[in-house]
């Protein structure tokens, strides 16, 4: 595992230099460094030395994007206190959307399961044609795709907010109420994400029942 220590050392040197950078550049560089380390380790597991190098490049790009997003958001606030309060409100809005979506999906799943079982039984009895099942499958696939798109959006927001929390914990007291408020909203977002993924799995299972 020759390249992994080199990647780790490079990242440590990169992060240690962050203290001398302006706030925006420091955020970007920290994101790139963390992404490079994770990407390098994943890449190494895939394809030894070559994978480590490629994974480090991919990881650095992904991390830098998160850092860029955080830096852009900071420009909208006059202080870190405003940042924490504003981002907590932002995540709360995401949570309201996710909660409503998940409640609607959960209510629909039981009905969709009954419909799928009924269609399957009618098809077996020769009372409905195959194209009717295919039409319902296509509708379910669109529903699953919408779930996946929302999941991607929430996942990206979760990643950004987790990075903000990690950064702010280094500079603020552990009992800071603004940190606690943002952490609560981020934890709630994670719960909604898990529910969304479970519901997508359930929808996929229903869709599979209509496969003929």
Residues 82 and 56 in one domain: no
The pLDDT value given to residue 147: 86
Domain boundary among 76, 110, 142: 76
Residues 98 and 198 in one domain: yes
| Max mean pLDDT range (8-12, 13-17, 75-79) | 75-79
Residues 61 and 109 in one domain: no
Residues 33 and 110 in one domain: no
User: How many domains in the chain?
Assistant: 2
Residues 132 and 212 in one domain: yes
Domain boundary among 26, 48, 76: 76
Q: What is the largest CA-CA distance in the chain?
A: 74
Q: Contacts by 85-90 with C-beta closer than 8 Å and gap 24+?
A: 85/178, 85/181, 87/161, 87/164, 87/182, 88/178, 88/181, 88/182, 88/185, 90/157
Residues 49 and 87 in one domain: no
Task: Single out the residue of 58, 56, 55, 63 nearest to residue 28, CA to CA.
Answer: 63
Residues 62 and 92 in one domain: no
Looking at residue 129, the DSSP 8-state letter turns out to be -
The pLDDT value given to residue 92: 92
Q: Which region holds residue 172: left if phi is over 0, alpha if psi is between -120 and 50, else beta?
A: beta
- Return d(Cα 202, Cα 199) in angstroms, integer: 5
- Return d(Cα 178, Cα 162) in angstroms, integer: 14
Residues 103 and 165 in one domain: yes
Residues 92 and 59 in one domain: no
Domain hosting 8: range is 1-76
Residues 104 and 26 in one domain: no
- Return d(Cα 44, Cα 52) in angstroms, integer: 4
pTM over 0.85: no
- Return d(Cα 73, Cα 84) in angstroms, integer: 11
Domain boundary among 61, 76, 91: 76
Condensed to tens digits (0 to 9), the pLDDT of residues 115-159 reads 999 999 999 999 999 999 999 999 999 889 888 888 888 888 899
Mean pLDDT to the nearest integer, 88-101 = 90
């Amino acid at each position: 595992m020759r390249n992994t220590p080199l990647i780790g050392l490079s990242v440590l040197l990169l992060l240690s230099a962050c203290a001398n950078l302006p706030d925006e550049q420091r955020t970007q560089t920290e994101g790139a460094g963390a992404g490079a380390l994770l990407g390098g380790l994943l890449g190494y597991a895939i394809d030894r030395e070559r994978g480590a190098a490629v994974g480090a490049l991919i990881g650095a790009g992904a991390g830098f994007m998160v850092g860029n997003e955080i830096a852009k958001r900071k420009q909208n606030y006059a202080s870190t206190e405003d940042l924490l309060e504003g981002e907590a409100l932002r995540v709360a809005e995401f949570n309201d959307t996710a909660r409503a979506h998940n409640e609607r999906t959960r209510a629909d799943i039981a009905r969709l399961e009954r419909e799928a079982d009924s269609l399957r039984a009618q098809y077996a009895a020769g009372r409905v044609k195959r194209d009717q099942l295919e039409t319902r499958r296509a509708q379910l696939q669109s529903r699953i795709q919408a779930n996946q798109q929302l999941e991607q959006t929430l996942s990206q927001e979760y990643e950004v907010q987790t990075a903000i929390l990690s950064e702010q914990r280094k500079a603020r007291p552990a009992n800071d109420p603004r940190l606690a408020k943002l952490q609560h909203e981020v934890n709630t977002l994670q719960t909604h994400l898990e529910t969304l993924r479970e519901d997508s799995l359930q929808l996929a299972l229903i869709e599979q029942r209509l496969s003929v």
